[in-house]
A and B are shown apart, each in its own frame.
Chain A
């Protein structure tokens, strides 16, 4: 990351956002919906990248943060009858609190133990959803009814089931999180995180409190993932336990590895690419897990820096 080009970096990101905005007018109906979903899932990947890419902490349990947002928002709408903004806030709150607790516990461990501990907490979260089936719908999940998915400001109201509104909402969330990530990464705090990733002992020696910096990163990461989950529940109307399963902890890892860890736009590219790989191959075979498996192995073997990571290394050193 070179110092020289803040303007270039912001121009690139604003350009990407503008491109996605223009696409909303050009794309046919089907891809419209797909792209909205990809943008919401890319937010999940960006949250994961915050911790994995910049702090170097590999979590195998981020599905619980996504799930916290998903169920926090979903239960608030379905069981408590809250409005959409309040439910979104509830999802964020659940994610923030959960990630604070998990961070306080899991950060006592490092390396392999951290991966296993996060995986186990996520498993507990997943099993708890199944156990409290009376409220959560168990493995059937819940559908958020259409009348509840309306965003109203005084007299005007926006129907979140409308494809255009949904696309714009997904894009707004995506843009906001993208710019927040960019700002964090370029800030002093972002540098400290990278320093922890590169050499935690030395960072400690320089006088930084690495534990609280890492804890803050877990909370930011968990809250961003919860935002993605809450948006998913409200925009697509389905709250299901499969989103909290181990598989949804692995997928963001795959997306981030593919797009490039520690690059701001990598998560979007990884999510987009993987989504279309699965979409295209599912025309020929139902064995999409095979593709996921092979992609994971090939990535760690030959392509550990991912797409944007490799581009940054070869050509564009200024890429954030």
Chain B
């Protein structure tokens, strides 16, 4: 293959990564933006979504699309429920203290990971894609399912944006983010908003995982990379800024796809992580964010 088609392939792969990354990072960003909680267990909610998708599709059987659609609905709901329980039992009792919640979510990370290993096992298991149509380009065939991931992610991102900016729920969330005490004075139940936001964040990660699992298999350690990449995206995009998160996700996804096609993936990760650490040190509000209050 020549350089041009090679680059196109890398770009497409990068866009698929970006699509999934944008959803995952948006979940992390919402939780941080509204609750000021850094959720280290976010990657494990992602992993839980993928593992549940495998469990649901293999329990339902029949046509792969049937099981996949069921997984797309049920897996995020279960993950959301787990997140609500975790929020009630742990984060609320810590009063959302930033440092204590980091330690607590590290604890959650280990618990979820170990439970997945115990009940699901160390194997990587595939999930069949709902359809296997291949789009034939002049140079190579490309999976139609991968393109549909990009579309699905775009739809979900726009939907989230509409909910945040155009609905009463979104208004309540933004009010809580802006000033939780005043919001409470206006009769907003801040505790319930926090519970809802934490669940929503986890569900976005779970949806992203269900979308990606037909390509990349479910494994109990699969939450690590999305966690790190989501951190990178959220930091570059500016903590708590939706537009920045999406732009950064596309940027990181594309560069990750392209760099790891032409160079070593480990080197790509080293450079990306180092750059992000430097951004955080020298420009803590992110490249696109405005200075925090």
Contacts and interface: CB of A to CB of B under 8 A. Distances in A.
Do A and B come from the same complex? yes
Interface residues on A, range: 35 or more
Contacts of A105: 277-278, 281
5 contacts: A106-B281, A120-B280, A124-B273, A296-B104, A301-B104
Interface of B: 38, 90, 93-94, 98-100, 102-104, 106-111, 113-115, 117-118, 228, 231, 235, 264, 266-267, 269-270, 273-274, 276-278, 280-282, 284
Interface of A: 58, 60, 105-106, 108-109, 111-113, 115-117, 120-121, 123-124, 127-128, 130-131, 250, 253, 257, 287, 289-290, 292-297, 299-301, 304
Most buried by A among B98, B111, B267: B111
B266 A127 contact: yes
B281 A109 contact: yes
A295 B281 contact: no
Nearest to B118: A287
Nearest to B227: A246
Contacts of B110: 289-290, 292-293, 296
B230 to A, nearest CB: 12
A295 B269 CA distance: 31
A111 B99 contact: yes
B111 A293 contact: yes
Contacts of B106: 250, 293, 296
Q: Mostly helix, strand, loop or mixed at chain B's interface? A: helix
Given A112-B38, A250-B106, A290-B115, A297 B90 contact: yes
A7 B5 CA distance: 76
A296 B103 contact: yes
Contacts of B111: 289-290, 293-294, 297
A287 B274 CA distance: 33
A257 B106 CA distance: 13
A124 B107 contact: no
Contacts of B269: 127
Given A290-B118, A296-B104, 13 more contacts: A112-B98, A113-B280, A117-B277, A127-B270, A128-B270, A257-B103, A289-B110, A289-B113, A289-B114, A293-B109, A297-B107, A300-B104, A301-B93
